[in-house]
Each structure stands twice: as structure tokens, then as C-alpha cells.
């Protein structure tokens, strides 16, 4: 996977994405999420991943909006001023605000998820002190998923051939009884395999707490390092400002 | 980012965790094949926690939801705290010997289920207004329609109803697997089953 984001050290877009997510939630509503969403989608489009990030965002934000409006329209509160099946402006705006906030967060994180290869991100984190064990867990997990899925399909096919009932005609009790026959071999196989993998790790003198030297270090210019410092400082300032506002509001109320 | 460089987990636990994470995702295929109204997406986390202790369970939960966030949807990053609670509670209940009997495993599942449900309901309410486009989300709507309670209350009831079925079933699966696992192997983990 390559994108325009590969020109950057992965920690820089990661810092920006985390800052955008936090700002979307703590900033003035509903305009901050709108701005965050626009910024994230523009960055995604400029990086050549606009379509995928937009799809990820819509997949979460749109159903949330539809469900929230639907519930209010179909089952309004007893105290609600609007009639059933008539959407009220207030609750529609509430649903829009929640969906926008959620969409902004998904879009900001989506830029990282779609645009930055996990292996590259983990290597960049390792260069900043992430120990070998944590880097190993992330990379090995990502690599283990396709194999486990393939094995699950194999187990299902094998048990179906042996006559384990799992179709639509089988009741819930029958399908529950079939569960150990399907999940058991998969789980036991993965656990016993981990022993072999542990032996391989020991044989290679894997040191979980060690910091590894990268063969091809990921570039990290002075400009990017400063950019990240500015992002973290701006985020800390925004959080402090929001906390101060919150405390100020409390003191006025009391 | 600077994390402590001390040895955190045994090599065996480190080798098991990626497979447990993959298991959390792969069991979805089994659930789909059987068309069961559960997720079973924490079996790997519970298994590691019982075999290798709460810290390994917490690590599995964090990595599992991070990988899900990377592979499925970034929205799943928000549920990392739930995975942490599941890993920690499974490890603790394993340490007190809950997984040495079927009844104990079911009881552990109920404890884990209620705790996970309450926390996930709080997250869903805070971030998504109480509704998600999932089985639990549609159950929330059904509860709201039938009982007439608020969306927040319906979300909590739906989460408990789902997790109180899902987590005991996950714990029973783990118990059955531990029963069939070679003693030599489970003893090597030095966890609750030894």
C-alpha cells in the first residue's frame, strides 16, 4: 500500500489525526466537527485515498444519523412536542451533531488506517522507543489474521462434510451444540501452534524488551519533529482551555 | 513514545497473543456459519488471560481492538477500554480458579459480561448517541419500541442482554478448550489452569 502520506514520517500524520479527533469532541459544536471532517477529507483526497476514507466515514456516520432520526420519529418520547412520524428540528439537529462528530473522528483516523501501512507505523513507533514485544504483537497479529480466517473456513467445510448440522433447518440448540465442534479445533490448533512459534522466537534470541536497530530507518526531518511538537502543544492548549471553561461554568452555577 | 524495557510477558504468551487476536476475528466466520445471535469476539482475549494472566489478557484486548480498528473500522478503537476490562477480569477470575469448573466459567462470563456491557453502553451513548448499526443497535431500537424507555436506557439494557449471553458462552468455550488442551502445554503458561 502506498499513498502520498508515505513522504511523511508516520508519526506526523498520526499526531495530526489524534489532535483532530480530540478537537472534534472538545471544540465548539457543531462547527468544529464540520471543519475537522472537511480537513480530514481534503487531506485524504490530496493523498489519493479520498474515496476509501469517505466510504469508511459514511459507513459509520450515515447509519448512526438514520437510526437516531428513525428512533425519534417512530418512537418519540412521551414528553416530545412533535407527533409520531414527524421529525422534529431539534432532534434531527442533535442526530446530525452526533453523526458529524463521529464522522469527523472516523475520517481523521481513516486517513491513518487507509493511508499509512501498519508495518511502517510500527517501525516509526519502534524508532521512538516502542519495545520489540509491542511491535511484534501488532505485526504478528496483522499477519496471523488471514491465516486464521482461512483455517476457520477449512474447519467449517471439514465439519460440514462430516455431517455437523449448521444450516437454517437446525434450531438454535442444535447450532449451539455444533459450536464446540467448529470452534474447538480452531482454538486448540492456534494454541498448540503458539508453542512452536515460541520455540522459534527463543531460538532467534528474541529479546522482548530490546530496542531494535532498523535496517532502513524511516526519515524524520527536523521540520517534521517541530511540526509534531507544535501539534501536541496546540492540543494541550485546547484541552487546557476547555477544562478552564468547564471549571469556570461550574463556579458560575455554584 | 517510551515504554518500560523490562520483560513484560513470557515468550510463550507473546507467541500466543497474535493467534488469540486472529482468533477473535476468525470466530466471526463460525458465528456466521451457525447464524448465532452472539459475537464471540473475545474468546481469544479470555483464553490468553486465563492461560497467561491478567496482564497478557489486557495486552491481547488492546492489540485485538487496535487490529480490528485498522482492518475493519476506526470506530472500534473507541472500544479498547472494553477489551481491557474483559482481559483484566478474565485474568482475575481465572486466577481465583473460576475456569476449573463449568459453573465457575459461566459465573465468570456473567461478571465479565455485565462489566463489559455497562462500559460499552457508556461509550456508545457518549460517542454515538446510544445507537450503532449492529445487532445490539437494532435490539436497542426494539427495546425502546416495546418498553418505551429512553434510548440511553434501552442501549444499556441491549448491551447487557447481548453481553450476558455472549461472554458466558465465550467462557464456556474457553473452559471446554482448556479441558482438551494438553496439560503439559497449559502448565507451561503457568496461569490459572495449572
- Optimal mutation site among A36, A92, A145, A175, interface B, most CBs of chain B within 10 A: A145
List chain A residues with CB under 8 Å of B176. 180, 184
Secondary structure letter of residue A25 according to DSSP? H
| pLDDT number for residue B1 | 43
Within a domain: residue B47?
yes
Per the CB < 8 A criterion, the answer to whether B38 and B165 are in contact is yes
Tens of pLDDT, residue by residue over A39-69, are 999 999 999 999 999 999 999 999 999 988 8
B133 pLDDT higher than 80: no
Interchain CB contact of A26 with B (< 8 Å): no
The mean per-residue pLDDT over the stretch B33-43 comes to: 87
Domain count for chain B: 1
- Interface contact flag, B63 A149, Cβ < 8 Å: no
A15 pLDDT higher than 90: yes
A175 pLDDT higher than 90: no
The H or E element that residue B188 is part of is helix B183-189
Within a domain: residue B151?
yes
| pLDDT number for residue B90 | 96
User: Percent of chain B having pLDDT more than 70?
Assistant: 93
B191 pLDDT higher than 70: no
What CATH number has the domain bearing residue B26?
A: 1.10.1760.20
**Distance between A111 CA and the closest CA of chain B, angstroms:** 10
Buried b vs exposed e over A181-216: b needs ≥16 C-beta within 10 Å?
bbbbbbbbbbbebbbebbeebeeeebebeebeeeee
- Interface contact flag, B70 A137, Cβ < 8 Å: no
Higher pLDDT residue, B59 or A88? B59
**Distance between B135 CA and the closest CA of chain A, angstroms:** 13
- Interface contact flag, A70 B30, Cβ < 8 Å: no
A152 pLDDT higher than 70: yes
State if pTM tops 0.90.
no
The mean per-residue pLDDT over the stretch B54-78 comes to: 91
List chain A residues with CB under 8 Å of B69. 109, 113
A78 pLDDT higher than 70: no
| pLDDT number for residue A213 | 74
Whole-number Å distance between alpha carbons of B27 and B137:
21
Higher pLDDT residue, B1 or B178? B178
Domain ranges of chain A: 4-117+222-253, 132-203
| pLDDT number for residue B98 | 94
The mean per-residue pLDDT over the stretch A155-168 comes to: 82
Per the CB < 8 A criterion, the answer to whether A195 and B185 are in contact is yes
CA–chain centroid gap for B51, Å, is 15
| pLDDT number for residue B139 | 87
Short-list A195, A41, A128, CA closest to B52: A195
Interchain CB contact of B105 with A (< 8 Å): no
- Interface contact flag, A136 B14, Cβ < 8 Å: yes
Interchain CB contact of A176 with B (< 8 Å): yes
- Optimal mutation site among B25, B70, B187, interface A, most CBs of chain A within 10 A: B70
User: What confidence tier does A239 reach under pLDDT thresholds 50, 70, 90?
Assistant: very high
Higher pLDDT residue, A160 or A108? A108
Higher pLDDT residue, B95 or B10? B95
B193 pLDDT higher than 70: no
- Interface contact flag, A60 B2, Cβ < 8 Å: no
Question: Which residue in A71, A102, A136 is closest to B151 by CB distance?
Answer: A71
Q: What is the 3-state secondary structure (H, E, C) of A33-100?
A: HHHHHHHHHHHHHHCCCHHHHHHHHHHHHHHHHHHHHHHHHHCCCCCCCCCCCCCCHHHHHHHHHHHH
A167 pLDDT higher than 80: no
**Distance between A229 CA and the closest CA of chain B, angstroms:** 13
Interchain CB contact of B47 with A (< 8 Å): yes
The single residue listed with the C-alpha cell 416530545 is A80
The mean per-residue pLDDT over the stretch B35-40 comes to: 85
User: What confidence tier does A18 reach under pLDDT thresholds 50, 70, 90?
Assistant: very high
List chain A residues with CB under 8 Å of B165. none
A14 pLDDT higher than 80: yes
The mean per-residue pLDDT over the stretch B10-16 comes to: 90
Name the H helices within chain A. Answer: 11-26, 31-46, 50-74, 89-115, 118-127, 132-161, 172-203, 222-253
| pLDDT number for residue B3 | 44
Tens of pLDDT, residue by residue over B151-170, are 888 888 888 888 899 999 99
Short-list A66, A59, A68, A18, CA closest to A40: A18
Per the CB < 8 A criterion, the answer to whether B135 and B162 are in contact is yes
**Distance between A95 CA and the closest CA of chain B, angstroms:** 8
Nearest-CA residue of chain A relative to B26?
A: A149
Mean of the per-residue pLDDT values for chain B?
87
A124 pLDDT higher than 80: yes
| pLDDT number for residue A36 | 95
User: What confidence tier does B46 reach under pLDDT thresholds 50, 70, 90?
Assistant: very high
User: What confidence tier does B4 reach under pLDDT thresholds 50, 70, 90?
Assistant: very low
The mean per-residue pLDDT over the stretch B102-110 comes to: 96
A29 pLDDT higher than 60: yes
Nearest-CA residue of chain B relative to A164?
A: B34
Amino acid at each position: 500500500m502506498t499513498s502520498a502520506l508515505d513522504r511523511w514520517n508516520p508519526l506526523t500524520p498520526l499526531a495530526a489525526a489524534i489532535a483532530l479527533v480530540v478537537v472534534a469532541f472538545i471544540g465548539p459544536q457543531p462547527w468544529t466537527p464540520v471543519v475537522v471532517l472537511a480537513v480530514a477529507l481534503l487531506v485524504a483526497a490530496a493523498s489519493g485515498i479520498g474515496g476509501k476514507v469517505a466510504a469508511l466515514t459514511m459507513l459509520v456516520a450515515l447509519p448512526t444519523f438514520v437510526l437516531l432520526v428513525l428512533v425519534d420519529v417512530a418512537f418519540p418520547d412521551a414528553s416530545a412536542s412533535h407527533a409520531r412520524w414527524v421529525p422534529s428540528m431539534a432532534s434531527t439537529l442533535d442526530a446530525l451533531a452526533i453523526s458529524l462528530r463521529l464522522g469527523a473522528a472516523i475520517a481523521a483516523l481513516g486517513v491513518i488506517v487507509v493511508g499509512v501501512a501498519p508495518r511502517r507505523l510500527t517501525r516509526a513507533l519502534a524508532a521512538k522507543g516502542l519495545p520489540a514485544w509491542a511491535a511484534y504483537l501488532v505485526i504478528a497479529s496483522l499477519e496471523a489474521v488471514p491465516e486464521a480466517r482461512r483455517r476457520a473456513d477449512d474447519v467449517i467445510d471439514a465439519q460440514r462434510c462430516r455431517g455437523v448440522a449448521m444450516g437454517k433447518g437446525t434450531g438454535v440448540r442444535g447450532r449451539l451444540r455444533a459450536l464446540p465442534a467448529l470452534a474447538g479445533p480452531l482454538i486448540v490448533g492456534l494454541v498448540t501452534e503458539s508453542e512452536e512459534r515460541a520455540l522459534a522466537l527463543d531460538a532467534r534470541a528474541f529479546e522482548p524488551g530490546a530496542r531494535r536497530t532498523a535496517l532502513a530507518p524511516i526519515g524524520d526531518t527536523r521540520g517534521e519533529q517541530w511540526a509534531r511538537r507544535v501539534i501536541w502543544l496546540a492540543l494541550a492548549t485546547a484541552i487546557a482551555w476547555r477544562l478552564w471553561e468547564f471549571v469556570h461554568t461550574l463556579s458560575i452555577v455554584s | 513514545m517510551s515504554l518500560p524495557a523490562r520483560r513484560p510477558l513470557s515468550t510463550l504468551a507473546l507467541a500466543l497473543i497474535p493467534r488469540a487476536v486472529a482468533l477473535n476475528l476468525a470466530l466471526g466466520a463460525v458465528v456466521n456459519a451457525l447464524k448465532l445471535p452472539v459475537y464471540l469476539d473475545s474468546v481469544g482475549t479470555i483464553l490468553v488471560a486465563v492461560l497467561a494472566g491478567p496482564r497478557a489478557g489486557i495486552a491481547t484486548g488492546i492489540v485485538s481492538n487496535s487490529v480490528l480498528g485498522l482492518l475493519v473500522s476506526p470506530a472500534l478503537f473507541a472500544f479498547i477500554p472494553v477489551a481491557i476490562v474483559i482481559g483484566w477480569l478474565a485474568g482475575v477470575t481465572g486466577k481465583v480458579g473460576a475456569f476449573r469448573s463449568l459453573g465457575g466459567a459461566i459465573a465468570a462470563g456473567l461478571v465479565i459480561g455485565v462489566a463489559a456491557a455497562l462500559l460499552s453502553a457508556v461509550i456508545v451513548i457518549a460517542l454515538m448517541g446510544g445507537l450503532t448499526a449492529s445487532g445490539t443497535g437494532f435490539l436497542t431500537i426494539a427495546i425502546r419500541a416495546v418498553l418505551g424507555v429512553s434510548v440511553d436506557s434501552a442501549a444499556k439494557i441491549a448491551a447487557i442482554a447481548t453481553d450476558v449471553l455472549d461472554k458466558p458462552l465465550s467462557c464456556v468455550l474457553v473452559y471446554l478448550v482448556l479441558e482438551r488442551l494438553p496439560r503439559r502445554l497449559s502448565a507451561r503458561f503457568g496461569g490459572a489452569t495449572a
